[in-house]
Structure 1
C-alpha cells in the first residue's frame, strides 16, 4: 500500500486524513467525524505514522459515475 495525500484512514472511532506527505514526514488531521471535518493537525515521521496506521483501514474514495460506463453498445 502506498501512502498518498488526501487518503482517509479509519482506526477505531478516529478518522485520519493525510494532509501533506513528504519524504520523511507526514502531516495529518485526526477527526472524530468526517462530516464536520473538525479535528487537530499533527506531524510525525513517516515511520511513526506507519506505526500509527497499523490495524487501520483505508476508506475508498467515492468515484463519480462515468456516463456510458457499464452499458452495452447498441
Structure 2
C-alpha cells in the first residue's frame, strides 16, 4: 500500500484524509461529511495507521492522473 499526503479513504460511514505524512508518523483527519469538511485531527504511527485503513477503500480524486502543466 502506497500512502500519499491528501489521500482520502472511506471506512464505513467516515472518511479519513491524510494531512501530513512522515517517515514514521501519519497525521490524519476523520470526517463524517465531505461537504462540510468538519472533523477531528489525529496522529498515529504509520504502522497503526495502516492497520486503521485496512479494509477501507481509497477514494479516487478528480485531479489524479492528470499531467501537471
SS in 1 for 2:34: coil
Query: 1:45 is matched with which residue?
Result: 45
Aligned counterparts of 2:5 and 2:11: Cα–Cα separation in 1: 17
Return 5+ residue gaps in structure 1 as ranges: 67-74
Return 5+ residue gaps in structure 2 as ranges: none
C-alpha RMSD of the superposition: 1.4
Query: 1:29 is matched with which residue?
Result: 29
Query: 1:9 is matched with which residue?
Result: 9
Query: 1:61 is matched with which residue?
Result: 61
Question: Which has more radius of gyration?
Answer: 1
- Equivalent pairs counted in the alignment come to 65
Moved over 3 A (4+): none
Aligned counterparts of 1:14 and 1:63: Cα–Cα separation in 2: 22
